[in-house]
Amino acid sequence: MGRQPCCDKVGLKKGPWTAEEDKRLINFILSNGQCCWRAVPKLAGLLRCGKSCRLRWTNYLRPDLKRGLLSEAEEKMVIELHSKLGNRWSKIASHLPGRTDNEIKNHWNTHIKKKLRRMGIDPLTHEPLVPSANDLLHQEQRQQVGASADGREGNDKVSEEQQGEEENITSAVDDAFCTDEVPMIQPHEMIAQEIQLPCMEWPESVCLWGLDEPNGWGFNFAQGDEQLGLDPFTQWQRTGLDQETWKFELF
C-alpha cells in the first residue's frame, strides 16, 4: 500500500508565495504558534499544503532569519562543518544562527563548491583535487599545442578553456573567501517583539502590529537597556555576549 500524500493536493496552489499568502501565514503563526502544520493551511485560510507552509515559514518568513549572502566567517564555518558532517545541511545550519539548511545548501552548491574547486580542493572530500583523466588529456593536448607551430588549429577551444581555468585558479586563490554582503531584506522589514534567540517558537507574549504595511515593520536588538544596533549576530560575535539573552524589540 502506497503512502498517503501529506495532504490532499487537489485544488492546492503551488509556486511562488504572494504577499497576501505570506501575511495570512505570519498572522496565523503569530496568533497560534507553530503546531500541526497539516492543519495550518486550513486554519489560516491558505490553499497550500502544510509542508509548503512549514517550508515558507522556516526558510523565508521566520523573523530571526538573516538575509543576504553568507559572510566570510560563516562561509568558513560551513566549509569546516561540511568537512565533518557532510551534506547534513540542517546540522550545519544549526551552527549558524539565522541561516536555514536550504540557504546553506544553495550557497554551497552555487558558490562554495566552485570556489573550492578553483582552489584545487575537492568539495566532496575536502582533499586536494586529483587531476581527472580528462584533465590529463587536456594537459597533454596543451603540451602538443605548445610544441607544434600550427598547433592552435583545432585546439583553440581546449587551450582557451584551460587558460581561463588557470586564471580562475589564480584569482580564486587571490580572493579566496571574499563574499559580497548584499542584504536582500533590511532588518527593519520584519516585525516582532521580545523573541528569544535562537528559539524558533513564538512565545505567547509576542505581539504584532502594522501587518497591513509590511515595509514599515522594524526590529531593534537590545540586551538589557543597551541598544546594540540591527545585527545581533555580529554584535554577539564581536562582544562575546550570550545570544540566548538577546531580544527583538519593535521600534
Binding residues vs DNA (CB under 7 A): 1, 3-4, 6, 9, 13-17, 35-38, 48, 50-52, 54-56, 59-60, 69, 87-91, 101-103, 105-107, 109-111, 114, 184
Task: Pick between residue 38 and residue 95 the one whose CB is nearest to DNA.
Answer: 38
How near is the Cβ of 93 to DNA at its closest, in Å? 7
Task: Pick between residue 41 and residue 218 the one whose CB is nearest to DNA.
Answer: 41
CB 45 within 8 A of CB 32: no
DSSP-assigned states of every residue in 84-130: HH-S-HHHHHHTSTT--HHHHHHHIIIIIHHHHHHTTB-TTT-SBPP
DSSP-assigned states of every residue in 196-240: BSS--SPPTT-----TT-GGG---EEEETTEE--S-HHHHHHHH-
How near is the Cβ of 39 to DNA at its closest, in Å? 7
CA distance 21 to 57: 11
How near is the Cβ of 195 to DNA at its closest, in Å? 18
- DSSP one-letter code for 195: P
How near is the Cβ of 193 to DNA at its closest, in Å? 24
Residue type, 120: G
CB 40 within 8 A of CB 46: yes
Task: Pick between residue 16 and residue 240 the one whose CB is nearest to DNA.
Answer: 16
How near is the Cβ of 246 to DNA at its closest, in Å? 22
Task: Pick between residue 200 and residue 207 the one whose CB is nearest to DNA.
Answer: 200
Q: Angle of helix 156-174 relative to helix 133-147, nearest 10 degrees?
A: 110
How near is the Cβ of 184 to DNA at its closest, in Å? 7
Task: Pick between residue 23 and residue 247 the one whose CB is nearest to DNA.
Answer: 23
CB 205 within 8 A of CB 37: no
Task: Pick between residue 23 and residue 91 the one whose CB is nearest to DNA.
Answer: 91
CA angle, 48 as apex, 45 and 51 as ends, to 5°?
120
CA distance 67 to 87: 22
CA distance 166 to 163: 5
Task: Pick between residue 196 and residue 223 the one whose CB is nearest to DNA.
Answer: 196
How near is the Cβ of 117 to DNA at its closest, in Å? 12
